[in-house]
Amino acid sequence: MPQKYVSKIGHSLMLLLAAIWLVPLIWMTVTAFRSRQTALSGFWSADFTLDNFATVWSAAPFTVYYLNTLLIVFGVFAVQMLTATMAAFAFARVPFAGGGIVFLVFLAQIMIPADVLIFPNYNILKQFSLLDTKLGIMLPYLASSFGIFLLRQVFKTIPLELEEAALMEGCNRWQVLWKVYFPLSRPTYVAFALVSISYQWNNFLWPLIVTNSVENRPLTVGLSIFAQSFEVGVQWTEVSAATLLVIVPLLVIFLAFQRQFIDSFIHSGIK
């Protein structure tokens, strides 16, 4: 049957893609534990060393960087969740004058790359005296037009009857939002969390530009000390070790959320 073949081809294509995706990750992990001389020799060898990690760890205050990254990433996401939920609810269910136009303006903002806004944002932070603070790093990202768009689309699909029923039961709008819309949109929140967290985790240029002191800088700045060595060419072992250090927590979060992701789909499907 042709359909059977199609699904087989589809599966093997996916496996192939997964394998391609895995290659750099595995290569990097292996390289991080190998000595410099054998790193690129191409043969699997038994030698194993933690020297690369020692070099990397001593070159930058990674503990501080870790804490900063965690604070920034989760701080931004927590506030984004609040602002995006409220805005999305307004756009989806609260008719107001000019709502369509305002929403269009929000949509247009998705198309502006964050890098373009570095100079104006820097200026604003300076006027607020927020340069070189963690709040300064977070501020431009506290509202997310992408999140608003995503949630608005989901809120629109939730049957009005549910809202009406909740109102009948004596809920006010605020309660309707957090007791009806919020729990029903859980998969979307998880998806948005993946996007937001990985973006903030990887963000490099903006934090580098607005901060000066070690106390306020995230992990990516520590990584860049090894990644940007254009004079000598790439130091593969050290770059790999540094990269591994930086991405391991993200990978763990990612895998954890992946399960959550699937679970929440099943959950909402049963209902």
Partner 1 sequence: MRKWSTKVLAAALGLSLLAGCGGGSGNGNGTGSSNGKGDDAAASQGTAQTASAANGGKKTELTFYYPIAVGGPLTNTIEAMTADFEKEHPDIDVTPVYTGSYADTAVKTQAGVQAKQPPDVAVLQSTELFSLLDMTAIVPLDDFIAKEGNDYLADFYPAFMANSQTDGHTYSIPFQRSTIVLYYNKEMFKEAGLDPEKGPANWEEMQDYAIKLKKDGRHGLEIPVTGFAYWMMQTFALQNGENLMTQDGKKVMFDTPENVEGLQYWVDLAAKHKAMPEGVTDWSTVPSDFLEGKTAMMYHTTGNLTNVKKNATFDFGVSFLPAKKQYGSPTGGGNFYIFKDISPEKQQAAWEFVKFMTEPERAAQWSIDTGYVAVRKSAYETERMKKYAGEFPAALVARDQLEYAAAELSTHNNGKVMKILNDNVQAALTGTLSPAEALKKAQTEADQALASFNK
Residues that bind partner 1 (CB under 8 A): 36-37, 40-41, 55, 58-60, 115-120, 122-124, 126-127, 131, 204-205, 208-209, 212-213, 221, 224-226, 228-236, 238
Q: How far is the CB of 236 from partner 1 (least distance, A)?
A: 7
By C-beta, is 187 or 222 nearer to partner 1? 222
The H-assigned helical ranges of 111-218 are: 118-127, 134-138, 145-157, 160-168, 173-176, 182-184, 186-202, 205-210
Question: Least CB distance from residue 47 to partner 1, whole Å?
Answer: 15
| Residue (133 or 153) nearer to partner 1, CB | 133
The Cα 271–Cα 269 span in angstroms is: 5
Q: Is 8 exposed, middle or buried (0-12, 13-18, 19+ CB in 10 A)?
A: exposed
For the CB of residue 130, give the shortest distance to partner 1 in the complex, in Å: 12
- Cβ-based nearer residue to partner 1, 57 or 261: 57
**Which one, 187 or 218, has the nearer CB to partner 1?**
218
Exposed / middle / buried, residue 246 (Cβ in 10 Å: 0-12, 13-18, 19+):
buried
Structure tokens at 175: 């309660």
Q: Which is nearer to partner 1, 19 or 112 (CB)?
A: 112
Q: Which is nearer to partner 1, 3 or 37 (CB)?
A: 37
The distance of closest approach from Cβ of residue 217 to partner 1 in the complex, given in angstroms and rounded to an integer, is 9
Q: Do 156 and 92 meet the contact criterion of CB atoms below 8 Å apart? A: yes
Closer CB to partner 1, 19 or 225, in the complex: 225
Could you tell me the smallest distance in angstroms from the CB atom of residue 218 to partner 1? 13
Distances (CA, A) of 198 to 125, 127, 187, 195: 24, 29, 17, 6
Q: Say which amino acid occupies 48.
A: F
What is the closest distance, in whole angstroms, from the C-beta atom of residue 227 to partner 1 in the complex? 8
How far is residue 85's CA from residue 108's CA, in Å, rounded to a whole number? 19
d(CA 132, CA 155): 38
- Minimum CB separation of residue 39 from partner 1 in Å reads 9
Alpha-carbon distance 50 to 1, whole Å? Answer: 53
